[in-house]
Structure 1
Amino acid sequence: MNKMLVKRGMAFMLAGAVTLGLTACGKPAGNTGNATNSNAAGTASAGAGQPVELKFSHIWGGAVDPFTPAAKKVIDDYQKANQNVKITVDTNENEAYKTKIKAMAGANELPDLFSTWGGGFSKPFIDSNSVLAIDSYITEETRSKLVNGAFNNLTYDGKIYGMPFFLAAGALFVNSELFEKNSVKIPATYEELLTAVKAFKSKGITPMAVSGKDKWTIAMYFDVMALRAAGPDKIVKTLTKQGSFKDPEFLNAAQRFKELIDAGAFSKGAAGVSNDEAEVPFYDGKVPMMFKGSWAAGKADAKDSKVAGKIKVISFPAIPNGVGNAKQFTGGAVDAVMVSANTKNKDEAVKFQMYFAENFAKESYLAGASMPAWKSEGVDESKLPATLVEVVNLTKDAEGFTIWWDTLLAGKDTETYLNALQELFMGTKTPEQFVDSLQTMYGK
């Protein structure tokens, strides 16, 4: 891969990405403390001040998670440079974490710092005054290090509540070796995708990897199909209750998704399989396709990967009668770390928050696990894994990014969506019934 091409692609991605997000109404989270010093982000400043313990909850603890080593390194580095600071870490798997962090917020027991997602997911935390607004801590120097639109999904009522680290993009990861061996064409259109699904199914090969148990992985597929059907503007307006799910575009997306299901795109046992379990056959080279976020590149090119060098990254194709196109992506700068409004060490917590966000972005990028929401000066992109380079090049001409539904939606609306989608996936709801369930978010 040409090094300059990679750099140009990444430069476009980092400098020009447009994130379609939610600027929701929320209440200020109390006193934001004093302005930060110049060491708040980037370099941990050594010192022997008063002992400080910070409790930090996040999702990167799995043995096979490519982000786990990066998170541990950043935390360890900070503590070595700030020996008066002890960071106590608590980790949980994605779905369990979401449930736990919501319960902790409801009980007013949030840890000093916690990983989260912007948009509607964190809005209840903001509305309940549970999160520290950090505007007064963010210097122009820090702002200059972040990509354009990095705070879009973390701004509520004009105030910033979180520091982002990743820039994610949804893409279709395909095993080119399996396509070649089975004489199946890598799809460029929806019709070719449907043909590929049927071709693999006829050979006894499960075409697409998904977890029906971890509902967010089903949503990865439906979200992009809805984006293709309705386009980004209608998606954002409808999910923020300025439209209607009864518009024909949403039924079109549901019917096309059901069409893939009926064609045998997914394993019959997917409903009882977790995300970690569902990914195994793809990374073992037995399943040819998986739609996931750009973080999947890290596993594809891991040292012990069975599919390294075999994965091609493509955009999910446009669907018939849809108004969206293949240059529109799901994702954006969504993942973030926030500080509890009740922390007893606001300045120290924010200092670590900014250090973690910037350095976790860099370490995860170097590991080939993600694209950063921080500009990547000093990073040699020629050493990046080939699959991540493919994601970068795929998205360099992106028209925009629309965050995932379960992130953009707020509170119970998220569960309404995911539960209805799971029922559509399992065949207990028709596309029409699915759309009707979504419309209940509007109270009518």
Structure 2
Amino acid sequence: MRQPRALVIGAGVGGLTAAAALHRRGWSVTVLERAARLEPVGAGISLAPNSQRALDAIDLGDDVRALAAWQGGGALRTPRGRRLSRMDSAAMAERFGGPLVLLHRATLVDLLVSRLPGGAVRTGTAAALADPGDAGRPARVTTEDGGYEADLVIGADGIDSAVRRGLFPDHPGPRYAGFTTWRLVIPDPGRPFEPHETWGRGRIWGTQPLKDGRVYAYAAAVAEPGGHAPDDERSELLRLYGDWHRPVPDVLAAAAPPDVLRHDIRYLAEPLPAYHRGRVALVGDAAHAMAPTLGQGGNQAIEDAVVLAHHLAPGTGDPSAALAAYTRDRLPRTTDVVRRSARAARAITLTSAPATALRDAAIAVAGRLVPGLALRSFDGIADWHPPTRTYPSGAQRKA
């Protein structure tokens, strides 16, 4: 039987997971990545129990769980340090069947690449979809080195996906969410801290530990799109957050300007009509870019990849039925997560003093009256299981 061939455009989390999952199912997979190399850029990524269970399908879930650094408590705070509500890692694990794991994105990329055969990832290779194909002909992709034909093409080329535009040229594309974000990873700042997220007026900050002793910090603020600091982004963070409670000043003191990444947040407010066309499927931000307020962007990309591979059994000739099943499985769920993330974004982007005070009071009262209420916002998200309950990396996880 001829081995089916898949081309993946983009070597991000979704593309690499899709490649690893298809390789595990017997496909010949090549990943085409525009960047010259897979450099350790980026910052932290949060993997919830839903994506960890998906990663079990490629024998990677336990490797990720072993990197969990958040143990014990945490808090949602005000800029002055007042605790609004408690967060508990054990309660998270008990409710959803696993820990919340924060790790460097480069660490996850390395783990995913380790599940691929040598030479499967071709860097420095910009690729374009030339023909999506159909039941009677293969899909075609072009690069500077020539063209390729494949039984399947996966568009994993991010929020500005050229593959998506080629499949759905009338779709309006991503919309600005109204705020920008900063991310940085620093060495241990030298003093203990409680993991936290802090909400101010139109601004948030989070500080979280990584397993290797480093610290991941992130910030968001209401801003006009396309903005940049007049000097450097670390100086901008000092202006915005320098007088917030510890450890925020300690983190900023330990950061250098090159450590700070800034990105405007955009999302696909209007869902696509489908996540496939012809022999092409979209995964991750190419299909359903979302605000990062629930930390689910990478998680949903991983889910996409594993569900897609689940439907594409070895020996698949015409993948039309499998891709239609993929869309049926993923479009309703990811549309819901996109909308829930957008609602959460509205709560953190309040800028008026009365609205912010009312929000904070409601959070504090709810936390006292209904302990664990914050965790319920992840019901229907973090408790997801992949299509099969047979996990190759160990015992069946908690349902």
Higher strand share: 2
Shorter-chain TM-score above 0.5 = no
TM-score by length of 2: 0.25
Higher helix share: 1
TM-score by length of 1: 0.23
